[in-house]
Every structure is written in structure tokens, then in C-alpha cells.
Amino acid sequence: MTEKFNFCPFASHGLSIEGNAKRRLCCHDLSAETEELDINFSHLSNKVSAQLKQNNYSTHCKFCIDLEKKKLSSPRQEYISLYNNQQKNDKNLIKFLDITLDNICNLRCNTCKPLYSKSLTSEFEKLGLKYTKAKTLKTSQLLEIISKLSNDAFIVLTGGEPFVSQQTFRFLRDLIEKKDTSQMTLRLFTNLTIIPDWFESIIPYFKEIKLVGSLDGHGAINDYIRFPSKWDNITHNLDLMSALVKKYSNLELDIHSVLQVHNLNFVSDFIVSLKPYKNIFCFVPSFTIIETPHLFNPKILPQKILQPIQKKQIENLEKILNSIEQNDFSELAIRRLKKIIKQITTIESNNSTSTFIQFTSFSKMKDQFRNIDIDNYYDYFFKVDI
């Protein structure tokens, strides 16, 4: 780590609310510990701030600590850069808000759960899978949160799908009505299947809008992982969003992807498929390796399957890296390519035949339920003698 890990502004000035209306440290805390929502006080945040100050370590911050140890950028570093930009940070105001407004979503992505997509509820029930129920905040709670936001707040809205949920529109309408939002930044995660009519009208009210498209693959891989979205529709919306990015200087688009068993073999093709947008946004997405559900982590792949995929992907990614042309996003694209190469290189198979069999049976069961079959793309899961 290059600097001391003794402070995180999210822990001291942030409010993060889960899909079950409980408070958590932040969305990067892998312990998934939550507490009853108190907008003004968090035992967890105080505990972690004190731990960091005393010994530079907290198990809750393992995600950021591990990234920084590998000399990769962490969310903590981003929060520090945003925090340092401010002249004063009133401890009683919320500088960072990260909130899941509800679980209304039109997709059933293969690694998601009912807490984030209501559409998955009946599937989980029919397949006998356990799940946590979602809960939405009361309007009075949302209004209290709005009243406590600092004038330069950094707000992250996740879902559900914020562009499908009416809650998003109501929250943003109330925020714009009740506060001066001209110095606020809004980061909004979307699956890019829908762009609501109201979206363009809110853009001028914010200092910046950072739209994050969650995409995990292209073509049939997208249609499988982010079921039942269609890649043609996604590219249509990428074109529409690109036009808005050109029109509004305070709007930017970025792509975030989750690296998992179903897209590991297609990562380089996916990146190449986004190259036509290279002057609008960074065509290399920001990748995170999935932690839960653990059955989708690439390390469940047996060595015999994993190794050739790693070799092929690293070769392809290096070719992309060597062909990067200079533009506004090239530095970021290079950084991200180096990061994904490192991420793929360091995946180690856990060589557990039983976990792999559990994964293939679970995938088959889910595919049957959804009446889909794209074995052609995934035959290496089934044809290798393990």
C-alpha cells in the first residue's frame, strides 16, 4: 500500500442503505453486516473508523485493503479524492449517500437475488432457494435523508433498476425540489434496457451525472447472463445515451462488469464489441471478480478448463492493450486492461470437483426453468473429463 490505511471518508461521512432498508458500512463491505437504520448514528461506521485510526486495519474494509496491497485503485481512494476537494465537511451532514431505493427490476441476471430484483422472487421460490426479503424506505425517511445531505453530496443510486422504478423518479424530484443540487454529483447504476423520458430533464440540475451501465458480456452472453435483456436493445440504448453524453458536458457514461464463470471466456470479445464507443466512454469496462454467489466465481472451474481460458484471454487482452490509440480515455483503458490481465492471471482453481458439479447442476436446473439452452457457448463446462 502506498499510503496509510488509517481513514476512509465513507466510514465517517457516508450513509449506505441496503435493499432491506438496513444500514451497512458501505457497499464494499464483504462481511454483509447490517444494522437497524438510524440516519443520524451508526455503531458500525464508528467502530470501523476507530479500528482504522488505531491499527490501519478493519476486516470490514478487506475489499479496499486487498486492492491497495496489489497497488490497484480502491473505492476508498476515490472517496478520499472527492473528500479532499471539499473546503469543509460537516460531520452532521451526509457527504456520501449510497442507496438501494427498491428491488423493482425488469431483469433476472444469473448472479442476482430477489433483494435486488423482484422478478427473481418466484424463480427462487420454485427452485427452493433461500432469500432475504426487500423492504422500501418510508417517504418520511427519504425526506429526512434529503434534508441531511450536504450541498456537495455524492449520491449513488442502485437498484433494482433505477430507470424502471417509480421510487427513483420520486426521490430525484423531491431532491431537486428541496435542495440546491447544482454542486451535487449523482452516480446512477442502470442495466441500460430502458431510458425513461424524465432522465434528460434532470441532467441540468446536477453538477455531474455519472451513469454506470452494468453489462457483463455482449451478444448471446449478455442475453444469457442478464436474462431476458437483448443485446440489440442494449446497443440501441448505448447509441441514445452516447448522443446525450455529447449533448451535456456534465453527463458521463461508464461500464462496470462482473467477472464470473459465464463471461471469463468472452471478456476480450466483449471489450472489442464496445470499441465503437471508444470516443464516448472508456470502452474497457471496470471489472470486479464476483464474490457471491461463490458458485459463480471463476475459481470453481477445474484447472483443465481454467488454464486454457486464462491463456487465451490474456493473449487477446495483451493484443488489445498494444493496439490502444491515444484519446481522452486511453490512459484509463490501459489501466483497466492491465488490471483485468492481473485479475485473470491470479485466478487459481480451487480444484474442487464437487463444487464444479454443484455449479453445472445448478446452471442446468436454472436454464431448464427459464427454458433456455446455450450449451454451444458453454460446452467446455460439460465436455471436459474432470
Tell whether residue 340 is a contact of ligand SF4 (CB under 6 A): no
> Do the Cβ atoms of 357 and 365 come closer than 8 Å?
no
Nearer to ligand SF4, 60 or 95 (CB): 60
Nearer to ligand SF4, 185 or 242 (CB): 185
Tell whether residue 44 is a contact of ligand SF4 (CB under 6 A): no
What is the per-residue binding string for ligand SF4 in 183-222, x denoting contact by CB under 6 A?
----------------------------------------
The per-residue DSSP string of 286-303 comes to: EEEE--SSGGGSGGGS-H
Nearest distance, CB of residue 373 and ligand SF4, angstroms = 39
Nearer to ligand SF4, 64 or 153 (CB): 64
Question: How far apart (Å, rounded) are the C-alpha atoms in residues 346 and 219?
Answer: 27
Contact with ligand SF4 (CB under 6 A): which of 13, 23, 24, 28?
28
Nearest distance, CB of residue 53 and ligand SF4, angstroms = 12
Question: How far apart (Å, rounded) are the C-alpha atoms in residues 50 and 41?
Answer: 14
Nearest distance, CB of residue 64 and ligand SF4, angstroms = 3
**Three cell numbers, residue 306:** 481454467
Contact with ligand SF4 (CB under 6 A): which of 15, 17, 21, 26?
26
**Three cell numbers, residue 385:** 473429463
Nearer to ligand SF4, 100 or 191 (CB): 100
E-strand stretches of 296-363: none
Contact with ligand SF4 (CB under 6 A): which of 18, 29, 98, 216?
29
Q: Which stretch binds ligand SF4 (CB under 6 A): 3-11, 134-142, 223-231, 274-282?
A: 3-11
Question: How far apart (Å, rounded) are the C-alpha atoms in residues 266 and 289?
Answer: 14
Nearest Cα to Cα of residue 311 among 377, 270, 267, 351: 267
The per-residue DSSP string of 232-253 comes to: HHHHHHHHHHHHHHHH-TTEEE
Residue 90's CB: how many other CB atoms inside 10 A?
A: 12
Q: What angle do CA 312, 315, 319 make, to 5 degrees?
A: 135
Tell whether residue 271 is a contact of ligand SF4 (CB under 6 A): no
Chain residues 58-87 in contact with ligand SF4, contact rule CB under 6 A: 60-61, 63-64, 75-76, 79
Compute how many residues bind ligand SF4; rule: CB under 6 A: 14
Tell whether residue 24 is a contact of ligand SF4 (CB under 6 A): no
Q: State which amino acid sits at residue 30.
A: L
Identify the DSSP state of 204: G
Tell whether residue 8 is a contact of ligand SF4 (CB under 6 A): yes
**Three cell numbers, residue 312:** 487465451
Question: How far apart (Å, rounded) are the C-alpha atoms in residues 351 and 324?
Answer: 36
Nearer to ligand SF4, 100 or 265 (CB): 100
The footprint of ligand SF4 (CB under 6 A) covers 8, 10-11, 25-26, 28-29, 60-61, 63-64, 75-76, 79
